[in-house]
Structure 1
Amino acid sequence: MQERPNIHVAVVMRRVALDNRWQPFRWELADVVPHDDGFGREPRILFDDGREQRWLHPGFTVELFRDDAEGYYLNGTTDTPGWFVMWRMEDAPSVAAEPIAKPEVVTLSYHDAGRWLDAQEAVEQVPAPPHVVEWMMTFARDHYVPEPRKRKRPESFRRLEDRFGNPATVSSGKKYGE
């Protein structure tokens, strides 16, 4: 079986301090970078100045699937094509004393991101580099087949209905009883 086109990436999440007594900080997606074997396998902190932390989460594989070519095409034809990262808060006692934002999946598909958002997941986007966008669009052009448009009937051929959906008639003759 032929292997799917894929690339290996790492995700950088950012923890930003807020001046808010109800929420002392927030997590956000900072970047998606090419994976390097030197990153290891476990999340680790890259930067901490007391107001901001940056965490590296290595080891993600982004695969392109033929049946999702439309999702790649939609992403590639926007003003800012990008990576979509679905993440969740998770306890990681081996690396941090408090819960951290842990990326679960990285994709280039608009459809995947839409499904995750519909499921109330945390999904964020960052711009993808031009070489990744070109790789994705080459795949999309090779595999995406737009559905043929259905012919729309002219309005003059539509059935007349009243406001309740019942068939209605129009007559140009005299009214009853005249």
Structure 2
Amino acid sequence: MERSRTIPVGIVLERRKLDNPWQDFSWSAVSVIVGAPEVSEWRLLDKSDGVERYHAATLELTLYRGETESYKVNLAGSPSVYVVLRQNDDPDSSYEVIPFLATASAYESQDYLDSGEEIVEAVPMPEGLIAWVQDFCDQHHEDEVFVKRKRSDHRHEQDKFARRPRVDAARARSGRRRLV
């Protein structure tokens, strides 16, 4: 039985000109191209009125058998591919961000959001990809049975760890206890 399933997805990023004294452009992921070929350089797809769209990278979207619950959560809402973008540290590059990861896991994307170092964009998942993820979940998802733990009786629990004082046996019978 397969443990994972992988498909290449092209990441389409949009650069929008801003009228802002501190920032020239805003970057966002706008779509994915299922089965896209590998690209070595960013390819300009569209350009109009201060907006440019690029096929920035082709990343592998991998589904894992142990994460089907997260995929089902994603499919239950508005199905999305989560694209993680990182700041580009290359000073010679004209692109401020680079695509780092594409995932269908809502939980994994939340982990990247919590770190605060990356930008996470939810891109609408294409219909064919929805069917592909749903098929994987149908084959591999197993509901975990909730087992409520039983509480132990606190009166007996206390005796397990308490040290009993040593008592003189003769005085204990007479009703007066004396510590030894």
TM-score bracket, normalised by the shorter chain, equals 0.7 to 0.9
The size of the alignment, in residue pairs, is: 150
**What is residue 84 of structure 2 aligned with on the other side?**
86
Matched position secondary structure for 2:146: coil
List alignment gaps of at least 5 residues for structure 1: 154-158, 160-178
**What is residue 8 of structure 1 aligned with on the other side?**
8
Q: Distance in 1 between matches of 2:34 and 2:106?
A: 21
Q: What's the TM-score once normalised by structure 1's chain length? A: 0.73
Q: 1:134 aligned to 121, 131, 135, which one? A: 131
Cα deviation digits, residues 118-140 of structure 1 (max 9, x gap): 11121001111122111101211
1:48-127 equivalence runs, <5 A = 48-49=47-48, 51-78=50-77, 80-91=78-89, 96=93, 98-120=94-116, 121-127=118-124
**What is residue 34 of structure 1 aligned with on the other side?**
34
Structure 1 or 2: larger helix share?
2
Q: 2:146 aligned to 130, 141, 149, which one? A: 149
Q: Distance in 2 between matches of 1:151 and 1:5?
A: 34
What is the CA-CA distance between 1:44 and the residue it aligns to? Answer: 2.8
Rg (Cα) greater in structure:
2
Task: Give the fraction of aligned pairs with identical amino acids, expressed as a percent.
Answer: 28
Q: Distance in 1 between matches of 2:112 and 2:51?
A: 27
List alignment gaps of at least 5 residues for structure 2: 155-180
Cα deviation digits, residues 154-175 of structure 1 (max 9, x gap): xxxxx9xxxxxxxxxxxxxxxx
What is the CA-CA distance between 1:151 and the residue it aligns to? Answer: 4.9
Cα RMSD (Å): 2.6
CA contact 1:13–1:101 (8 Å) conserved in 2: no
Q: What's the TM-score once normalised by structure 2's chain length? A: 0.72
